[in-house]
């Protein structure tokens, strides 16, 4: 399986109507237009940032159809099809394939601790049913499962899986996966805090929820790295560090609500409605986020590096 995917991938938010009961598909289409206009390289609906765990399968399938139709082959669309059972993942993945998805992104099932063999067979069983690429999503903080470098090596050898979103937050894990697979898997970094570091040592791209609001900044970082301007890329990274640290304060609020507030702070659209158990940022934290963004000064960053 040959894959040419690289660069910035945005796992898009799911936008709800004000009461959180329904999904505002029209606003989601508008948000896709914004991301396309900014030059993102691919998008992923129904990932973690898209609240896949808070959606029923009818909604997930309609989101897949809406996004694929709106993108209209302009960029790749990988549908998030993670679920608690292998059978359910296969159903969602076959649907994604049938409506024209470029691929699917799948985490291991969450809640019940699984053995390495069970995680392997979960992905292997899905891969047998599909002809489109699978991106393994390793996010042990949220799933409770770690898709180890050894599991990924075995899947690459037996199921021709060559894509990984690594949200382990560990540079060591990234390096070990590269070594175990003999540099034969394309890894996208899903943790902003280590994204620049991993790009310098072989990552294929960045998958950032925050890029829903500030895609231009991540695109600029990737452009600078591509042009061997590492110190300039690092300079932007350090300017964004307060935002990264704030967005990871999970004991105070959820990451997805930070992303949605950030979208509004940038003046893009009204999107902060959530579906319980998730809640929007409180006024206190929303105010703190606004202060952080004033200090960071996104437009100032872009103007500083626009000629680089």
Q: What is the pLDDT of residues 60-87, one digit of tens each?
A: 999 999 999 999 999 999 999 999 999 9
Domain extents for the chain? 7-227
Q: What is the pLDDT of residues 254-304, one digit of tens each?
A: 999 999 999 999 887 789 999 999 999 999 999 999 999 999 999 898 888
Question: What's the confidence (pLDDT) of residue 270?
Answer: 84
Q: Residues of the chain with pLDDT > 90: what percent? A: 91
Cα 36 from Cα 80, distance rounded (Å): 19
Q: What is the pLDDT of residues 153-206, one digit of tens each?
A: 999 999 979 899 999 999 999 999 999 999 999 999 999 999 999 999 999 999
Q: Is the pLDDT of residue 111 over 70?
A: yes
Upper half-sphere CA count for residue 164 (Cβ side, 13 Å) = 31
Q: Count CB neighbours of 37 within 10 A.
A: 9
Task: Please classify residue 302 by burial: count the beta carbons closer than 10 Å to its beta carbon, then call 0-12 exposed, 13-18 middle and 19+ buried.
Answer: middle
Do you find a cis peptide bond into 25, omega within 30 degrees of 0?
Answer: no
Identify the sign of the CA torsion 171, 177, 182, 185. negative
Question: What's the confidence (pLDDT) of residue 281?
Answer: 95
Question: What's the confidence (pLDDT) of residue 308?
Answer: 58
Question: What's the confidence (pLDDT) of residue 307?
Answer: 61
CATH fold group of domain 7-227: TIM Barrel (3.20.20)
Q: Count CB neighbours of 85 within 10 A.
A: 10
Buried b (16+ CB within 10 A) or exposed e, 101-115: bbbbbbbbbbeeebe
Cα 62 from Cα 50, distance rounded (Å): 13
Contact (CB, 8 A) for 187 and 202: yes
Cα 55 from Cα 69, distance rounded (Å): 20
Cα 96 from Cα 99, distance rounded (Å): 5
Contact (CB, 8 A) for 109 and 145: yes
pLDDT averaged over every residue in the chain: 95
Question: What's the confidence (pLDDT) of residue 79?
Answer: 98
Q: Which of 134, 136, 70 is nearest to 99 (CA)?
A: 70
Q: What is the pLDDT of residues 205-242, one digit of tens each?
A: 999 999 999 999 999 999 999 999 999 999 999 999 99
Residue 18: band (very low, low, confident or very high) from pLDDT cuts 50, 70, 90: confident
Contact (CB, 8 A) for 145 and 113: yes
Question: What's the confidence (pLDDT) of residue 1?
Answer: 45
pTM (predicted TM-score): 0.95
Q: Which of 246, 179, 233, 242 is nearest to 206 (CA)?
A: 233
Question: What's the confidence (pLDDT) of residue 267?
Answer: 83
């Amino acid at each position: 399986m040959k894959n040419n995917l690289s660069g910035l991938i945005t796992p898009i938010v799911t936008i709800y109507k004000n009461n959180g009961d329904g999904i505002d598909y029209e606003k989601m289409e508008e948000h896709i237009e914004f991301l396309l206009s900014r030059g993102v390289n691919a998008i992923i609906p129904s990932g973690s940032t898209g609240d896949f765990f808070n959606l029923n399968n009818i909604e997930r399938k309609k989101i897949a159809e809406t996004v694929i139709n709106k993108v209209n082959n302009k960029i790749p669309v990988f549908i998030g099809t993670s679920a608690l059972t292998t059978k359910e993942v296969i159903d969602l993945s076959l649907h994604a394939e049938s409506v024209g998805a470029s691929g699917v992104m799948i985490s291991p099932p969450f809640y019940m601790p699984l053995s390495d063999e069970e995680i392997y067979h979960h992905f292997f069983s899905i891969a047998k049913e599909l002809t489109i690429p699978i991106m393994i999503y390793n996010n042990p903080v949220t799933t409770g499962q770690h898709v180890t470098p050894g599991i990924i090596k075995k899947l690459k050898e037996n199921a021709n899986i060559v894509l990984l979103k690594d949200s382990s937050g560990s540079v060591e894990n990234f390096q070990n996966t590269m070594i175990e697979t003999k540099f034969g898997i394309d890894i996208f970094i899903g943790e902003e805090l280590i994204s620049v570091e991993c790009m310098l040592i072989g990552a294929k791209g960045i998958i950032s929820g925050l890029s829903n609001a500030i895609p231009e900044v991540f695109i600029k970082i990737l452009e600078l790295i591509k042009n061997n301007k590492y110190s300039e890329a690092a300079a932007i990274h350090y300017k964004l560090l307060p935002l990264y640290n704030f967005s990871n304060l999970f004991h105070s609020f959820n990451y997805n609500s930070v992303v949605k507030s950030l979208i509004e702070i940038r003046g893009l659209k009204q999107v902060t409605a959530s579906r319980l158990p998730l809640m929007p940022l409180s006024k206190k934290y929303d105010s703190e986020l606004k202060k952080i963004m004033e200090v960071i000064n996104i437009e100032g960053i872009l103007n500083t590096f626009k000629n680089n």
